[in-house]
Structure 1
Amino acid sequence: MTGTVEMTGMIELTLNGMPRSISGVLPHTTLLHWLRNEGLTGSKEGCAEGECGACAVLLSRPTESGGTRLESVNGCLLLLAGLHGQAVRTVEGLGTPVALHPVQHALAARGGSQCGYCTPGFVVSMAAEYYRPEREITGRGNGFELEAVGGNLCRCTGYRPIRDAAQALAAPAEGDALAETLRRPSPLPRPVALGTLSGEFHRPETLAEALELLSRHPQARLLAGGTDWGVDVNLKHARATVTVAVEHLPELNTLAWTPDYVELGAGLSLSELERRLGGAVPLLHAWFPLFASRLIRNRATLGGNLGTASPIGDSPPVLLALGAGVVLASSSGEREVALADYFTGYRQTVRRPDEFIRAVRIPLPLAPRVGFYKITKRPLDDISSVAVGIALTLEDGTVRRVRIGLGGVAATPIRALAAEELLTGRPWTAATAREAARVLRREGTPQDDHRASATYRAAMLEGALLKFFHEQTEAGVGA
């Protein structure tokens, strides 16, 4: 590896406010595994794939104002090596039996715990919301967003007393020690290079170093949020010979508006994108709450979601509807590829082994009429059976431009080109919508599987476009 970082076996992090130096770290060791070996057993393993929230911990992240934000994340999906230089807080670092944290006290007072297995995860996620900088307490409520605990499951207590506890939380009291620390800058990820018999883990200091590493190790596993790779490590016992962490690189954390496009860094978490965009890209704004849970969105990235090339990934249908392109970086330079041309087969793309996704670009101006439809077995925190993104531009009641992105109906995410062609130049009427919906029903090559039948998927495609038409008509768009 170039630069000044030497191969070492030592990881340094701040745990519950105290510095820790950890030797002999293996590249695939998760934070949860290490915590429990250290006796910090408040964090539990329930599902090992980021669905139950029993493993939740707080990770310190910088705010745009220079302070610290506490984000709840799944400890089972965090690689310990990837936390070098950062600060983590577990449920043990929030309160004690004789000095409960306000969140713990609220849960205990309102009967929010029975067996207690899930309780530490709820405490952690609620604490992240308790200290959220944007939370505003008014006469109408305490500003607590219940979505904060959307990734935490409870099998025995039921959610009403947990909700009651959340809605009873006031602002942090004057002198709250943890609140005071959040006014100071957050510890940041530091470059590191680990070499063990089990493999290598690198967090390069610069983009040039990352690209050089990738050119030397084209088989390397690229790591950003880890919400996909962490599942493979836990459930499939996957191991990488070389892991390269890239989420910290400034070039992957851009959010820039130009006259022609908005550029979204591939390393920005979805929660960070949601905050920084503030609804400025309406189709993304509609999609964010439907992508997994807040615990996952605090780590998941656009680059990671596109990098997996899954035909049921949630972001491709949205980005296809927006006409997005991906910026691929390598040591020989950058190139932009339209997302419609990016996927070449089942989990295959045009990305070369020496490239990674640096950013996503969405062309401007944005279509003024948009809709996203995710058909799943439960409304939130589920894998889609079918996903449909639609972006429409009308001119005098006629379809001037339309893009429709589809997921779950082919070996790759696709554009609904036949339906788009039928709609373009036609009047935006119920008759046109019905005709286009019948064409949309025949797009792709939907399959029967455990999530849905091919017939059901086709019907959902038709229904999505009809629903979009009626929603737009009710809003006074079209005839």
Structure 2
Amino acid sequence: MIDFYLNGRRQQCADASADTSVLELLRGALGRTGTKEGCASGDCGACTVAIGEPDASGELAYRSANACIVPAHQLDGCHLVTVEGLARGDALHPVQAAMVDCHASQCGFCTPGIVMSLFILHEAQRRAPAPLTSERLEAALGGNLCRCTGYRPIGDAALSMHEYPDTQPSWADDPALAGNVAALAHDATRRSPVAKDSEGHYATPDDLNALRELRRRRPQARLVAGATDLWLEATQQLKPLTDLIDLRRVAELQRIEETAEGWWVGAAVTYSRLEPLLAEHFPAFAHLMQRFASLQIRNRATLGGNVANASPIGDTPPVLLALDARLAIDGPAGPRELPIGEFFRDYKQTALDDGELLRAIFLPHQSTAQNLKVWKIAKRREDDISAVLAAFAWRFENGALRDVHLAFGGMAAIPRRCAPAEAALEGQAPTVAAFGAAKAALRDDFQPLSDVRGSSEYRLTVAANLLERLRLGLESTTAEVSIDAYAH
């Protein structure tokens, strides 16, 4: 049973299969065809919707999501807003009115998703008015593609939407809506998934004990959190996902716990929730988030998912390797910890034993002497997969480099550090000779593959050039020369 609100009205869907997406539910069973399918992979944003959940104050906070890759069962206890739910009769929402007046829709296929992304931005402005900078606008629309290249009038509409009467949908008048959604969310966490043990089921445990029991009963079930990668098996490979265990309501996986040494980040914590911590304590890591997928993806994707997925081109594992992160694992034999460098074994293979799962990731405090740089090289500035990602950490001691960590993604079957290059720099001054030895060691240590994102030689050259960029930055007394608008 999926029990949720759609544009202010309660919906109950009892027959949705485990692998039904929000988009399929909308366009099929519910007959809401305003939301479009473009890429079916979370890239184009045509299917963008707003999902509202109660915040700490009890108000509904809305976040954008790609309906094509969000499991429909994750709507349980939420308020879903689609493009059909914005106008108030014949009176358009300010976003819609601005889009019309600025001629911001051409073929119109991408328009519903763009309108919904701007609706999220408009809601954020209503809750906490702030200048609408170009950076905020790019972040809001970074996950929406317009194939007619109509971005300028779309930007004009965004910048002018606050000038229109603040016409709100009729459902916004309902003072009980937030409370009703909160009650549904509370009911959703009280349902016992352990008693339901049939194949083809979508289970949503609410604590670690319930999750362990489900794993014991259904060892073949797939784990799902943000679904931003898993759901591509259904949409791109047409594989059935018939037996799923959802981690998003497991309380222990949703916590961010600070200790004297650092922070334990639950494996189901989304990037959007993690970003404030990164911005305050790991600015280079936070800077990467500007080029990590799109806002729609960051609202759903989890740090734990990016690690457990074990992709050699995942963006965050190299950073975690550079930071000496640790992993907490839970399973039938009990909890255990291991350094992240011991987690990745081979392509898509990890140190997880049968029945085990990743529970949390530990981010150690950065000392005032520790430095971190993160550089992502991809074909597009936003919402693209890395060809090479480099994360470098080090500190200075009497003019020499110490605790050098050089981690790379896209250079091997797993994300990993380059120990020979680290050894070439350890204890050395940042000279041309020392970095020359490090670059030579890097070329000997890596044999990257060639694919559509770059040849093996290209990747080796890029990785060596990033080491050179680090050297130039260390010797420069002026601000670093940027290679793009988001460089740091």
Query: Structure 2 length as normaliser, TM-score?
Result: 0.89
1:370 — aligned with what?
372
1:78 — aligned with what?
70
Supply the RMSD in Å over aligned alpha carbons: 2.6
**Given the alignment of the two structures, is residue 396 of structure 1 paired with residue 387 of structure 2, yes or no?**
no
Percent identical among aligned pairs is 37
1:170 deviates by: 2.2
**Given the alignment of the two structures, is residue 17 of structure 1 paired with residue 19 of structure 2, yes or no?**
no
Contact 2:224 2:244 in 1 (8 A): yes
**Given the alignment of the two structures, is residue 215 of structure 1 paired with residue 181 of structure 2, yes or no?**
no
Query: Match of 2:154, as an amino acid?
Result: I
Equivalent position SS for 1:111: coil
Contact 1:54 1:118 in 2 (8 A): yes
1:132 — aligned with what?
124
Per-residue CA deviation, residues 56-103 of structure 1 (Å, 9 max, x unaligned), is 110113434443321000001111122222221111111157111111
Contact 2:206 2:251 in 1 (8 A): no
Residues 61 and 395 (structure 1), Cα distance of their counterparts in 2 relative to 1, 3 Å cut: farther
Measured in 2, the distance between the counterparts of 1:172 and 1:405 equals: 49
1:249 deviates by: 1.7
Measured in 2, the distance between the counterparts of 1:210 and 1:197 equals: 15
Residues 461 and 147 (structure 1), Cα distance of their counterparts in 2 relative to 1, 3 Å cut: same
Measured in 1, the distance between the counterparts of 2:271 and 2:119 equals: 20
Query: Match of 2:239, as an amino acid?
Result: A
Measured in 2, the distance between the counterparts of 1:235 and 1:412 equals: 23
User: What residue ranges of structure 1 are gaps of 5+ in the alignment?
Assistant: 1-9
Measured in 2, the distance between the counterparts of 1:404 and 1:433 equals: 12
1:171 deviates by: 8.3
Per-residue CA deviation, residues 212-239 of structure 1 (Å, 9 max, x unaligned), is 1112222211010110111111111222
Query: Match of 2:340, as an amino acid?
Result: L
Equivalent position SS for 2:39: coil
Mean Cα displacement is larger for which, 190-199 or 366-375? 190-199
1:296 — aligned with what?
297
1:442 deviates by: 3.0
2:437 — aligned with what?
435
Measured in 2, the distance between the counterparts of 1:253 and 1:173 equals: 39
1:241 deviates by: 4.1
Per-residue CA deviation, residues 267-309 of structure 1 (Å, 9 max, x unaligned), is 1111111134433112321211111111111100011111111
Residues 345 and 89 (structure 1), Cα distance of their counterparts in 2 relative to 1, 3 Å cut: same
Residues 425 and 120 (structure 1), Cα distance of their counterparts in 2 relative to 1, 3 Å cut: same
1:420 deviates by: 1.0
1:449 — aligned with what?
451
**Given the alignment of the two structures, is residue 274 of structure 1 paired with residue 275 of structure 2, yes or no?**
yes
1:172 deviates by: 9.2
**Given the alignment of the two structures, is residue 44 of structure 1 paired with residue 36 of structure 2, yes or no?**
yes
Matches within 5 A, 1:382-421: 382-421=384-423
Residues 227 and 42 (structure 1), Cα distance of their counterparts in 2 relative to 1, 3 Å cut: same
Per-residue CA deviation, residues 421-456 of structure 1 (Å, 9 max, x unaligned), is 111111123432333233223332211222211111
1:3 — aligned with what?
none
Query: Match of 2:15, as an amino acid?
Result: G
Measured in 2, the distance between the counterparts of 1:351 and 1:301 equals: 18
Matches within 5 A, 1:110-189: 110-132=102-124, 135-138=128-131, 144-170=136-162, 176=168, 184=178, 187=182, 188=185
Contact 1:57 1:73 in 2 (8 A): yes
**Given the alignment of the two structures, is residue 59 of structure 1 paired with residue 51 of structure 2, yes or no?**
yes
Contact 2:48 2:66 in 1 (8 A): yes
2:345 — aligned with what?
344
Residues 77 and 460 (structure 1), Cα distance of their counterparts in 2 relative to 1, 3 Å cut: same
Q: How many residues get paired?
A: 468
Matches within 5 A, 1:249-328: 249-328=250-329
Measured in 2, the distance between the counterparts of 1:426 and 1:468 equals: 14
**Given the alignment of the two structures, is residue 32 of structure 1 paired with residue 46 of structure 2, yes or no?**
no
Mean Cα displacement is larger for which, 328-337 or 122-131? 328-337
Larger fraction in helix = 2
Equivalent position SS for 1:229: coil
Measured in 2, the distance between the counterparts of 1:88 and 1:455 equals: 47
Measured in 2, the distance between the counterparts of 1:353 and 1:475 equals: 52
